[in-house]
Structure 1
Amino acid sequence: RDLHWGNLLIERSQSCTISMSLQGDMFDIPSGGIQVKIIDYTLSRLDKDGLTVFCDLSTDEELFLGEGDLQFEVYRSMRRENQNVWSLYKPHSNVLWLHYLCDKLLTEAKCMKKPSSAVQRRDLRRLQDFRREVRHYGSATEVLKRSRLFK
């Protein structure tokens, strides 16, 4: 619910892949020698043992008034999709943040501005394709299972 790039810690990694299990399926995703950690869960939502814990953003109108960055449009899109009821599980909100992060990589990361090798140009095209397609998925799980970026 708040996966802007200020909430991520990005560091180099010795591992070439990230292995994970999701709904019983195993995935090995190329890491490019990068590890990303989420460092702020303040606006997250959690269901545990029948209890839903969430931050009620309906009371924070200022959050939705921001301008000048795609991040603020993501907040407004989430509010439209959940009709300002923040206790609801709306998995498409994660997709909105994946689109945002991809957009940030393509517009802000120096390595994406002038790719110098065939591999970098290929990766740039793949990210551009991903940015175009990702918002059509219903959840981050669907993105991982169906997007060409993760094949």
Structure 2
Amino acid sequence: MKQVFESLDRLVERVAGHAHWLLRVGLAASFLSHSLPRYGALDAFAERMDLPYGAAVMATMVETLAAMAILVGGFVPGMLGHWITRLGAFAYVPIMAVAILTQHWGRWSFTPAPDYPLGGAEFPTIMLLTATYLGIKGNRA
């Protein structure tokens, strides 16, 4: 049995250095799938979120740029890539914190409910924690 676990360990260790891509791609895909469609309807987004138009534009741009930074940072070698990743991830933290507090607070389950048409805080909290992790670890994740 020991040999089985050692073999599995060797297999996992071979890919461990690339595991950060699972978090990067998932986080960036979520950012982009939420931000890119908004560019065609920023007025509606601002109204739905009860935000000034300028804040809606800024939030959308930050989400898009943060997603790109998280992806690009993984390809850039050295300290520059490390900090591109960190800045992209940390840029998303306040956006998610505000979203949780203003749109999702009071319900945990991610499923929509009559009082929470955007769902509860479960999914946004996972996004916030993932962004925080990548912000802390950068390319050393």
Provide TM-score, normalisation by structure 1. 0.31
Greater fraction helix: 2
Greater fraction strand: 1
